[in-house]
C-alpha cells in the first residue's frame, strides 16, 4: 500500500548495458542506460498492460532521467507506438514494452533503447541524443512471422558498436550488428539445431551478455529453462555462445547444467535453471562470471569466467531466488555484487517478496553474509502485504547521489488508493549504493501519480525489460 507522506512520482526504471570494448581488450562491465549522455543512468520501464487511449493493453514505456540528487519529476516521458516518430501504431493486446534492451547501437555515446511486444511482430529501436530519447529516426526491425521475447545488447564483434540479440517465441535467436547508422541488416540466426550447437531443446527468453573469456568480445548466455537433463523434466540449462570478430559463433559453445562436472547441486524435476541469467565480474579478475537462477528450487548457480571461458572452478550456489537477477558494484570497490529477486518469499505476509544481495570479493561472492531487503526493512517505505511480489524485477544503474551503483526493485502487484481500491497498480523502490554497500538512507519509493494510475498498471513488472516471471 502507499502510505501518506510518501513521494509519488511518474517514473520508469530500467538499467544496464555492456560497454562496447575494443577487440583484444576485456570489457569493463555494465554501465548505465545513459540516454542523454550526462553520465547518469536513466530509467526505462515497460507498462505492457497500459491502455493507449481507447486501445486496451497496447503497452507503453515510461522514461525518467536521473539527476545528481537521484530521481525527481524534472523530466519524465511516456512513450507509446503512437508517439511522434515511432514506426508502427498502438494496437490492442500488443503489450509493447514487455521486453527492452538499452545499448549504444550507433556508437554516438548515447544509449539507445530497443523494445519488443508480447503480441507484435517487430522490434522498435529509439535512439538517444543530448536531449534524451528521440522519436524521429527510430528503427523498426522485422525478421519473421513470429513474436519476440527476450532482448540483450552486447558488443559481440568488438567493433565499438553494440549489437542486439533477441529470442523469438519459436526459440530462434536473432543477432543484428550495430553500425554508425544503427542496427543494420547484417547478423545471424541461430536455433538449438544449428550446426555445432550443444543444446537440442528450445531456448527460453532469458539472455545476458558479458565477456566471459576476457578476449574483448561480449559473449551471450541463453537460459533454456525447459531442457530435460538426465531424466529430470524441465531441469533447465544454460547455452553459452562466444563472441568473435564476425560476431556470435558456434566455436567453443557450451551447455551448462546441474549435471555438468563439478557444478553444485543436481538436476531435479521442474528446477528451471536458466529462468534468468546475469553476468558480472564478482571476483574482479577481468573475466565476467555468470549467475543462473533455478526458479523451481529457489537457487542460483554461479559459474566463474576464465581465459578459457566458463569453468567449474570455484562455482557457488546461492539459496533464495524465484524470479530476477541483476549485477552491479554497490560499494564501489571494483567487485560486482549479485542481487537476487525472490518475490514469492513469505515472511510477514504471503508472497511479500524480498531481495538478497551477495557482495563480491577476490574469492568470489560472500554467500555467508547476505544482505536482505524487503518492505519490512528499517526505513524502507510501505509495508509487506500479501502478493506484492517485491523483487519481481531488478535494475542496476548509477542513478545519482554518488559513484557506486544503485538498485531499482519492482513491486508490480502493489495496490494503491483509498482502501487499496486500485489493484496491482505497482511501485518501485530505489536503494542507493555507498562505500558500505546498499543503504536505506536516501532511498526512494515511486508510484504513478493519481492522475495516471489505472488498475493493473503493474509498475515494476518490467525493469529494463526484465519481466515478472514468477514460478
* The dihedral sign for the CA sequence 27, 30, 31, 35: positive
Cell of 355: 531481495
SS3 category, 189: strand
**Does the pLDDT at position 51 exceed 50?**
yes
Closest CA to 294 of 229, 359, 349: 229
**Does the pLDDT at position 299 exceed 60?**
yes
Q: Alpha-carbon distance 290 to 286, whole Å?
A: 13
Cross-strand pairs, 210: 219
pTM of the predicted model, to two decimals?
Answer: 0.90
How large is the average pLDDT for residues 393-414?
91
Percent of the chain's residues with pLDDT above 90: 65
Cell of 450: 493519481
CB atoms within 10 A of CB 442: 16
DSSP string, 389-452: -BTSSEEEE--SSSSS-EEEEEETT--BSGGG-BTT-BEEEEEE--TTSSEEEEEEEE---GGG
Q: What is the per-residue pLDDT for 144?
A: 64
Torsion of CA 14, 434, 319, 342, to 10 degrees: -40
Contact call for residues 192 and 199 (beta carbons, < 8 A):
yes
Mean pLDDT estimate for the chain: 86
**Does the pLDDT at position 3 exceed 70?**
no
Contact call for residues 217 and 157 (beta carbons, < 8 A):
yes
Cell of 174: 536473432
Residue 446 banded pLDDT, cuts 50, 70, 90 = confident
Q: What is the per-residue pLDDT for 434?
A: 97
Residue 421 banded pLDDT, cuts 50, 70, 90 = low
DSSP 466: B
Q: Alpha-carbon distance 449 to 61, whole Å?
A: 15
**Does the pLDDT at position 435 exceed 90?**
yes
Q: What is the per-residue pLDDT for 27?
A: 33
Q: Which residue has the higher pLDDT, 447 or 364?
A: 364
* The dihedral sign for the CA sequence 464, 435, 369, 314: positive
Burial class (CB in 10 A: 0-12, 13-18, 19+), 191: middle
Residue 6 banded pLDDT, cuts 50, 70, 90 = very low
Contact call for residues 313 and 290 (beta carbons, < 8 A):
no
C-alpha to C-alpha distances, 70 to 32, 40, 224, 432, 444, nearest whole angstrom: 14, 9, 37, 9, 9
Q: Alpha-carbon distance 54 to 369, whole Å?
A: 50
Amino acid at each position: 500500500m502507499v502510505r501518506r507522506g510518501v513521494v509519488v512520482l511518474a517514473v520508469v526504471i530500467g538499467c544496464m548495458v555492456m560497454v562496447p570494448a575494443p577487440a583484444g581488450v576485456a570489457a569493463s562491465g555494465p554501465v548505465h542506460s545513459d540516454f542523454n549522455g550526462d553520465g547518469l543512468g536513466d530509467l526505462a520501464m515497460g507498462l505492457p498492460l497500459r491502455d493507449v487511449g481507447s486501445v486496451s493493453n497496447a503497452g507503453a514505456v515510461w522514461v525518467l532521467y536521473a539527476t545528481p540528487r537521484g530521481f525527481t519529476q524534472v523530466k519524465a516521458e511516456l512513450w507509446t507506438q503512437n508517439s511522434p516518430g515511432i514506426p508502427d501504431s498502438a494496437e490492442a493486446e500488443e503489450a509493447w514494452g514487455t521486453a527492452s534492451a538499452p545499448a549504444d547501437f550507433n556508437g554516438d555515446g548515447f544509449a539507445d533503447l530497443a523494445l519488443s511486444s508480447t503480441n507484435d511482430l517487430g522490434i522498435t529501436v529509439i535512439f538517444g541524443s543530448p536531449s534524451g530519447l528521440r522519436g524521429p529516426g527510430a528503427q523498426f526491425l522485422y525478421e519473421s512471422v513470429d513474436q519476440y521475447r527476450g532482448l540483450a545488447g552486447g558488443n559481440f564483434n568488438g567493433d565499438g558498436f553494440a549489437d542486439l540479440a533477441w529470442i523469438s517465441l519459436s526459440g530462434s535467436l536473432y543477432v543484428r550488428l550495430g553500425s554508425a547508422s544503427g542496427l543494420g541488416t547484417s547478423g545471424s540466426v541461430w536455433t538449438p539445431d544449428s550446426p555445432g550447437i550443444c543444446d537440442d531443446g528450445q531456448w527460453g527468453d532469458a539472455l545476458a551478455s558479458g565477456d566471459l573469456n576476457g578476449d574483448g568480445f561480449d559473449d551471450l548466455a541463453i537460459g533454456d529453462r525447459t531442457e530435460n537433463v538426465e531424466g529430470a523434466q524441465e531441469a533447465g540449462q544454460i547455452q553459452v555462445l562466444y563472441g568473435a570478430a564476425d560476431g556470435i559463433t558456434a566455436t567453443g559453445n557450451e551447455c551448462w547444467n546441474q549435471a555438468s562436472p563439478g557444478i553444485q547441486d543436481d538436476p531435479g524435476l521442474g528446477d528451471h535453471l536458466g529462468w534468468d541469467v546475469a553476468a558480472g565480474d564478482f571476483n574482479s579478475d577481468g573475466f565476467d562470471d555468470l549467475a543462473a537462477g533455478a526458479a523451481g528450487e529457489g537457487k542460483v548457480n554461479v559459474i566463474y569466467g576464465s581465459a578459457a571461458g566458463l569453468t567449474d572452478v570455484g562455482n557457488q550456489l546461492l539459496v533464495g531466488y524465484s524470479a530476477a537477477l541483476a549485477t552491479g558494484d554497490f560499494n564501489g570497490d571494483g567487485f560486482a555484487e549479485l542481487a537476487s529477486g525472490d518475490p514469492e518469499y513469505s515472511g510477514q505476509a504471503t508472497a511479500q517478496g524480498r531481495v538478497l544481495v551477495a557482495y563480491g570479493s577476490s574469492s568470489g561472492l560472500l554467500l555467508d553474509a547476505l544482505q536482505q531487503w524487503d518492505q519490512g526493512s528499517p526505513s524502507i517505505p510501505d509495508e509487506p502485504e500479501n502478493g506484492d511480489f517485491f523483487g519481481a524485477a531488478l535494475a542496476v544503474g548509477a542513478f545519482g547521489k554518488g559513484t557506486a551503483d544503485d538498485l531499482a526493485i519492482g513491486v508490480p502487484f502493489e495496490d494503491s488508493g483509498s482502501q487499496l481500491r486500485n489493484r496491482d497498480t505497482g511501485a518501485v523502490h530505489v536503494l542507493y549504493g555507498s562505500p558500505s554497500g546498499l543503504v536505506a538512507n536516501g532511498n526512494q519509493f515511486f508510484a504513478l501519480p493519481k492522475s495516471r494510475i489505472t488498475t493493473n498498471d503493474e509498475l515494476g513488472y518490467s525493469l529494463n525489460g526484465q519481466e515478472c516471471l514468477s514460478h
